Amino acid sequence: MSFHSFYQRASSLFKAYPSTSKILLLSTFSGGGGVLVYSDSNPLKRILHADATLDSDGNPIRKKKVVVLGSGWSGYSFLSYLNNPNYDVQVVSPRNFFLFTPLLPSVTNGTVEARSIVEPIRGLMRKKGFEYKEAECVKIDASNKKIHCRSKEGSSLKGTTEFDMDYDILILAVGAKPNTFNTPGVEEHAYFLKEAEDALNIRHSVIDCFERASLPNLTEEERKKILHFVVVGGGPTGVEFSAELHDFLVQDVAKIYPKVQEFTKITLLEAGDHILNMFDKRITAFAEEKFQRDGIDLKTGSMVVGVTADEISTKERETGKIVSEPYGMVVWSTGIGSRPVIKDFMQQIGQGQRRVLATDEWLRVEGCDGVYALGDTATINQRRVMEDIAAIFNKADKGNTGTLKKKDFNSVVKDICQRYPQVELYLKKNKLKNIANLLKSANGEDTQVNIEKFKQALSEVDSQMKNLPATAQVASQQGKYLAKCFNKMEKCEKKPEGPLRFRGEGRHRFQPFRYRHFGSFAPLGGEQTAAELPGDWVSIGHSSQWLWYSVYASKLVSWRTRMLVISDWTRRFVFGRDSSSI
């Protein structure tokens, strides 16, 4: 390096990082070269080593600060796939680990240990050179691009620390909170199943109930009350938890607490007509029958209206009456709602009227620059084909003839299907191969279509629009998708997408997010699982249970957790579950 270019580089660094000039000593110059002595101070070292941080003129590029909130499915996936040295990445999450939620119900009865399904975040931070702060974001100041954070109160450290952080890009991956629908008494008396601590609390409480019911001087009624387990919500989590609890009662409690076993009862309450209503009807029917056979008291059309320390009250749809029952333990699993910090943020950006934060198809929060949202935090506000129909038509109608021929579509068909996933769903549902067939079926012939016929043919398509489910599958795919977009940005200034083809000229640089569904499982206990796989393929029974074991083992994020979970499963097969209340 010539002295001149060295001097240029050094002086531009001083300009960008004035504070570093204190530690940089140009000690000796001899001939055309020099010796550069600098301390271990990280930013300077990084900037001198990594040419990626200098532009073509040798001037340092200020790294864009990307702040990621959350270390769950979407945040962890984003961080794992992000590989762009042009970003200064800071992670804020109150949880210094990733939690593999699909196995959380198995923690409630000791089939799997909590530590086996968590992956510390620090390892990933070190590997990637990202920074982590164990704190919760309590306020987003969107207009000043700042967040306000608070550390959580530790068990030994009293008090909290508060700090502000600024950002260029903010990634919201904070998930959601359990939704109580403001039902009185739920926050105070029910258990949730969302975090690792929740699963451990449930496990301790179940064992406590059995120990309490085994004490002398209790009446039969009291024992029945203590051993009445109520699960609220017939979605996948409530059903899986009920099944896990039932397995524990049948396989372990019968041996460990033979005297009180006869007093146990599990009640599953569901406000709708059926449990697992997002699954295929065959699965719902099988699950309902199996639960009846197992002696789980399944009550549908039963809406919880209040919980006190001793009783749970429901309104029965058939009779309209309020019924109260004593219980020993209630687990609440009725869905999710937005976190307070997100609700407040929605107010600031004009989304206060919405139930869930909305993003566009590139996962950018609508109405707010530089903020992205992933996973359970937000939903994609899918654009309607009908909103853009005139633009689509004009784009295809290159000669401005007012009519379209089949070949005219070829240029826009791919874009239509990409931008509007509902078109593909509609074609699939109606067993049509492509849009030309759709036009043909709508118009009876294939030759020419005017805008009215075009509108008519596509008029039903928007009815296929569906929000993506709040699942780990969606969250992790969104994290991976966004990281890949960020990786592709050669320079940080570039936005992850170009102008839309239909709204302006040119083609967008990044495809919008597209979800790929790989199927879902509903474990039903007794080594039986229902699986719904793409292509309407339904399988229920022991074979799906083995599929479940292998899929979940493969989806665990590290070999360490994989080994731990497999050894937990083996231990359970050989020795049964651990019933100690520690």
Annotated binding-site ranges? 65-95, 227-263, 397, 401, 403, 408
> Which of 35-43, 371-379, 408-416, 548-556 is the region at the interface with Mg ion (rule: CB under 5 A)?
371-379
Interaction site with ligand FAD (CB under 6 A): 69-75, 92-95, 101-102, 104-105, 136-137, 173-175, 193-194, 237, 339, 341, 375-377, 470-473, 475
Q: Which stretch binds Mg ion (CB under 5 A): 19-27, 145-153, 397-405, 467-475?
A: 467-475
For residue 66, give both structure tokens: 């990307």
Which residues touch 56 (CB under 8 Å, ≥6 apart)? Answer: none
Interaction between residue 236 and Mg ion (CB under 5 A): no
Shortest Cβ 30–ligand FAD spacing (Å): 52
Two tokens at 476? 């992790």
Site string for Mg ion, 55-94 (x = CB under 5 A): ----------------------------------------
What value, to the nearest 5°, has the Cα angle with vertex 196 and ends 206 and 290? 55
Task: State which residue has the least CB distance to Mg ion.
Answer: 375
Q: Extract the tokens encoding 221.
A: 């009624």
d(CA 379, CA 365): 10
Candidate list 235, 236, 375, 512; residue touching Mg ion; CB under 5 A = 375
Determine the Cα–Cα distance for residues 306 and 313; give it in Å rounded to an integer: 5
Q: Tokens at residue 395, please?
A: 């784009």
Yes or no: say if 121 and 97 are a contact pair by the CB < 8 Å rule: yes
Task: Return the HEC string of 68-81.
Answer: EECCCHHHHHHHHH
CB closer to ligand FAD out of 170 and 312: 170
CB of 475 to Mg ion, least distance (A): 3
Count CB-CB contacts under 10 A for residue 518: 10
- Residue stretches of the annotated binding site for NAD(+): 227-263
Rounded distance between C-alpha atoms, residue 390 and residue 237, angstroms = 44
- Longest pairwise C-alpha distance within the chain: 97
- Asked if 475 touches Mg ion (CB under 5 A), the answer is yes
Report the partner that residue 341 touches, choosing among Mg ion, ligand FAD, none (CB closer than 5 to 8 A by kind).
ligand FAD
Q: Residue 419 Cβ, how far from ligand FAD at the closest point, in Å? A: 24
Annotated binding site for FAD: which residue ranges?
A: 65-95
Determine contact, residues 390/451, Cβ cutoff 8 Å. Answer: yes
Nearest position to ligand FAD, beta carbon? 72
Type of residue at 233: G
Residues 189-228 that bind Mg ion (CB under 5 A): none
β-pairing, 520-525 with 528-533? Answer: antiparallel
> Are 266 and 231 within 8 A, CB to CB?
yes
Distances from the Cα of 229 to the Cα of 110, 112, 417, 524, angstroms: 17, 21, 48, 17
Q: Which does 173 bind (CB under 5 to 8 A by kind): Mg ion, ligand FAD, none?
A: ligand FAD
Considering the complex, what minimum distance in angstroms separates the CB of residue 376 from ligand FAD?
4
**Cβ-based nearer residue to ligand FAD, 418 or 539:** 539
- Output the smallest distance, CB 225 to ligand FAD, in A: 26
Whole-angstrom Cα distance, residue 401 to residue 418? Answer: 26
Choose among Mg ion, ligand FAD, none what residue 544 binds, the Cβ cut-off being 5 to 8 Å by kind. Answer: none
Q: Which does 477 bind (CB under 5 to 8 A by kind): Mg ion, ligand FAD, none?
A: none
Confirm if 337 and 279 have CB atoms less than 8 A apart: no
Contact window for Mg ion (CB under 5 A) among 157-165, 284-292, 473-481, 517-525:
473-481
Q: Which residues partner with 303 through β-bridges?
A: 315
Is residue 392 a contact residue for Mg ion (CB under 5 A)? no
Instruction: Tell me whether residue 55 or residue 187 sits nearer to ligand FAD (CB atom).
Output: 187
Which residues of this protein are in contact with Mg ion, per CB under 5 A? 375-376, 475
